[in-house]
Amino acid sequence: MNWSLNKFMLAAVLLSLLVLTVWLPNALVTPANVLRPGGQNEPDYIIRNFTVTAMNQAGLPKYELSADTLVHYPERKSAILTDPRLIQYTPGAPAVYTSALHGLVYNNGKDLLMTGDVRVVRGQDSKAPAGQITTNQLRILLD
């Protein structure tokens, strides 16, 4: 009985991830277009306090992206983030934590531009010491 409940929970989690995998790339795309005056770039939705987790082919977390606010603009096919936080996971290595004041997701959800007080922190492991980088702008390739 417990085994079937575990299977059901795993199937529910995988189905949720599949839905996010299909939705997120379509919702967050390229910054090539700039905002134009005249109301053509009204956001079609706003999400507050969200977290999305992308999985690798082995079913393990690849990265986790969260932010206080996501504002999606269909005309620009991009999303603006407020206070974005990204955790990147690599098997056998410490997680890398990146935060900033602002972010822009574009290119079908494959690129993240973080701006304003960008901080990247990596923990120590047996292969490398811990490290921290600060900058004003950082482009991260998510896929």
Name every residue whose Cβ is closer than 8 Å to that of residue 63 and which is 6 or more positions away in sequence. 53, 54, 86, 87, 88, 89, 142
Q: For residue 42, what pLDDT band results from cuts at 50, 70 and 90?
A: confident
Separation between Cα atoms, residue 69 and residue 101, nearest integer Å? 11
User: Torsion-angle region of residue 13: left (phi > 0), alpha (psi -120 to 50) or beta?
Assistant: alpha
User: Which pLDDT belongs to residue 41?
Assistant: 75
User: Which pLDDT belongs to residue 133?
Assistant: 92
Separation between Cα atoms, residue 98 and residue 104, nearest integer Å? 14
For the chain, the domains span 2-31+41-141
For the segment 44-64, the average pLDDT, to the nearest whole number, is 93
For the segment 4-25, the average pLDDT, to the nearest whole number, is 59
What pLDDT, in 10s, does the model give residues 68-114?
Answer: 999 999 888 899 999 999 999 988 889 999 999 999 999 888 999 99
Q: Given a cut of 90, is residue 36 above it in pLDDT?
A: no
- Whether the predicted model's global pTM rises above the 0.75 cut: no
User: Which pLDDT belongs to residue 123?
Assistant: 85
Separation between Cα atoms, residue 5 and residue 33, nearest integer Å? 47
Q: Given a cut of 70, is residue 4 above it in pLDDT?
A: no
CATH 2.60.450 for the 2-31+41-141 domain, yes or no:
yes
